[in-house]
Structure 1
């Protein structure tokens, strides 16, 4: 068994930036043919070419992860372009805003859960008819915040990411008879991502890195390596797992 995805197909949601782009590039480098999704800004021709690998550059599909009918259409389009699906990486998510319970409205709560948790359900649901038995792999992007509660103002985000843990374990049991695995990645502090560029101050970044035993922040490539492993035959008996990627900052 080797880490070779030649002949496999993969859908990476939010695959144009940050962790998603690193995962898409790593999957293509391993030989998979990849489709990535975007919401409002299609990736440039240069970006798609840069993400290309042995199987060619990725297919780009527009996706509104909050719209059930749109998700069904977009995932179906990606599956048709690729000729079926072997791998789905549910990467869409984000903090959206920082708000504590006293200021968080129900509408904001629902919006953050929709972006992070509902999107994982909707894409998985839409992809299920296209996933091949035996080689099917679903990899869900959760977060260290799902374990720890995150930094102040991450109440709804941490709740959604903890929900992904439960969703992953339950779905793993449902799909195991088909030879389809479902696992989650829980990254800690990953630099060079829109999340921290938007919501984390320089002082907070420095303080967080000081507390990481590995002595450095993580990178999108650190997450991508784990995603490719889970997508490969090397991890065919790993199912329902939550893999922490945080430089020994936290164990569960």
Structure 2
């Protein structure tokens, strides 16, 4: 029997096909949870699903752009139909894009990063809440970033959306604290993940951000972050709500 209370729980993980999302999916499956892997990349999502199944776990895949309401609806419907409800939502999918300063971001870049990093977690959260409210319990974990705690860790678009995700976390925590639903966030620092980004070192954004790169410290393994996600979703974190937990080797303390 799992000591985390996650055995047979229904867990949705966005961006579950790689990096932190993949590591979290494997960790939840090890705890006996049944996992929905939601990702825009079909091949990587299916690989993680098969990896879980090969180890004796239970997982299903939903492929699509999670900033699309229709895909969000499909993810939630899949979890409910396959596993009987939703116990945990991990809003992990995100993009970094260019490390651009405010004056250099195009309208298209701004809209895209906003849709993926902030609107998508909102849509997912809104969609799962009725199911959690019906059960009278649930846990939501949002992957923010060190960029959600300071202005010097990334470009303007990424920084703004990760600050916004912390606002979504805290508001949701307060609104549903008396309904048995907990909402927390993690703020990873430098992680060994395949999150792509573009950087012209001569441009304003990178030239400023790079000045603070010495404070980053070592790069963590994705599994080190995944263990914190699982903890926040587990019974062991039953009285933790509205928290933003840095997972950054002390970067936020510098």
TM-score scaled to structure 2, two decimals? 0.86
**Residue 194 (structure 2) aligns with:** 194
Distance 1:99 1:79 in 2: 40
Please give the residue correspondences for 1:41-190 in structure 2 after superposition, counting only pairs within 5 Å.
41-43=42-44, 46-52=47-53, 56-131=57-132, 133-151=135-153, 154-190=155-191
Deviation at 1:212, TM superposition (A): 4.7
1:231 corresponds, among 230, 233, 240, to 233
Relative distance call for 1:13 and 1:74 in structure 2 (3 A) is same
Secondary structure of the 1:37 match is strand
Relative distance call for 1:89 and 1:44 in structure 2 (3 A) is closer
Distance 2:56 2:5 in 1: 12
Q: Is the 8 A contact 2:186 2:246 kept in 1?
A: yes
Tell me how many residue pairs correspond in the alignment: 244
Structure 1 stretches of 4+ moved >6 Å: 206-209
Deviation at 1:109, TM superposition (A): 1.2
Deviation at 1:217, TM superposition (A): 1.4
Q: Is the 8 A contact 1:142 1:187 kept in 2?
A: yes
Distance 1:134 1:55 in 2: 29
Secondary structure of the 1:102 match is helix
Deviation at 1:45, TM superposition (A): 5.5
Distance 2:73 2:51 in 1: 28
1:248 matches 2:250: yes
TM-score scaled to structure 1, two decimals? 0.87
Q: Deviations over 1:42-71 (max 9, x none)?
A: 447554232348762311012322222331
Unaligned 5+ runs, structure 1:
none
Q: CA RMSD in A?
A: 2.6
Distance 2:222 2:113 in 1: 22
Relative distance call for 1:52 and 1:85 in structure 2 (3 A) is same
Relative distance call for 1:11 and 1:3 in structure 2 (3 A) is same
Q: Deviations over 1:205-235 (max 9, x none)?
A: x99886356xx31111111111111111111
Please give the residue correspondences for 1:16-31 in structure 2 after superposition, counting only pairs within 5 Å.
16-31=17-32
Relative distance call for 1:95 and 1:55 in structure 2 (3 A) is same
